[in-house]
Structure 1
């Protein structure tokens, strides 16, 4: 994988932090923020730690992860992982409308969060609305976007990676069962434990779309995130 091609689409730090590699179980998980990332990582971490009876310290700090980042693997070996068929490559994606709203309700309205600080700095003021948020993020190129609202096609390097499966957030637990069979050969208890939801804040954004969106904003998101709608089969909403 050519790092220069990666850096056209996303920040190199995000590439390192959100590319999760298991050498033991032979998979690569391309994490997408606001698309079940916390839950998926929690389940995977439990499986990775079970043989050594360790507990999860922090699913958000890559330094505490049992999964490796690309920089921790020799470049030629990482290239062979990405070009070969020995490692199962997967990701989770989400409807762009609800993902942006979830980001706004969780990360942007929580003013102490890094994404909120980054957004307010780019906006140039402290007061804002959902319309301000959508307008600004839709004006940004993917590389300039924060990972919580980056176009998912660029975030997972859709056109650079030969994925085995791209799962849908909307079918989370069916997808987790499917992935468990593919990666581990059976249905692992950790992968279907529906009591696990490690997201720091559940926003219920799927049921709130029309409370925040009007047709103008819906069209703006559809135009800016057109690759996500096309690549992942999400439909345009018309009120």
Structure 2
């Protein structure tokens, strides 16, 4: 279970010192596009294989530094519907790039199905039964004791970007990213092109099919894990339940809370 105490981590933030601003970049929320542009705004052109690998160069160097930027710089972050983010993560880490993601897929299967699998990539080439389903992926990330290198891809927004400790001046949404990015770029007069969020080209039909594969019980567990995000950033879990053709939350379920 997530700790309900915020603990701001300097490594989660990117400082644009020439423009006195600071961002919290959340994986699967246009973070690659933003990381690339923020590094360039700091004068870094050689971004290497992934912009994320260079973010340590523009992160606050200490907790004291983070507190200083919190008091004096303009702060912003971006969020998206939590279920949409989980779908994007599943698509990226399970569906796409089977060779690159072999070990992660294998670990998910062993964790959820409780059986050992051969340490060979052939096991994921032979049968679709050896590829985690969306429900198995969700079960994996809901495990309380999972400590995974990809955990930042599904950490709740409130715990990763600590909006009760960091006084954000702007919280944008991926659903309105075009307008939100333009606002931000215009505010600072940034010359770099406005980022374009990568949607991975997953059709709405495919997204609906994945969501429909989930039981109401699993969706309720997702809601409990991300309840603060759903409420704080005004997303609607009943819209997810509707896609899954499940009954909406009852008043009692809405009133129950893990925090």
Task: Determine the structure 1 residue equivalent to 2:39.
Answer: 45
Task: Determine the structure 2 residue equivalent to 1:87.
Answer: 73
What's the offset of the Cα at 1:107? 1.3
Residue of structure 2 aligned with 1:211, choices 197, 209, 212: 209
CA contact (8 A) 2:15 2:21 kept: yes
What's the offset of the Cα at 1:80? 1.9
| Structure possessing the higher relative contact order (Cα contacts under 8 Å, 6 or more residues apart) | 1
User: What value does the CA root-mean-square deviation take over the aligned residues?
Assistant: 3.2
CA contact (8 A) 1:101 1:209 kept: yes
**Equivalences for residues 53-72 of structure 1 within 5 A:** 54-62=45-53, 64-65=54-55, 67-70=57-60, 72=61
Task: Determine the structure 2 residue equivalent to 1:181.
Answer: 186
Unaligned runs of at least 5 residues, structure 2: 118-129, 243-259
Asked whether 1:106 is paired with 2:92, we answer: yes
Task: Determine the structure 1 residue equivalent to 2:16.
Answer: 22
Q: TM-score, normalised by structure 1?
A: 0.74
Q: TM-score, normalised by structure 2?
A: 0.69
Deviates more, 1:101-110 or 1:125-134: 125-134
Give 3-state SS (helix, strand or coil) of 2:200's partner.
Answer: coil
Q: Distance in 1 between matches of 2:107 and 2:163?
A: 25
Task: Determine the structure 2 residue equivalent to 1:3.
Answer: none
For this pair of structures, how many residues does the alignment match?
Answer: 216
Larger radius of gyration: 2
CA contact (8 A) 1:176 1:191 kept: no
Residues 158/180 of structure 1: CA separation in 2 closer, same or farther (3 Å cut): same
Residues 76/97 of structure 1: CA separation in 2 closer, same or farther (3 Å cut): closer
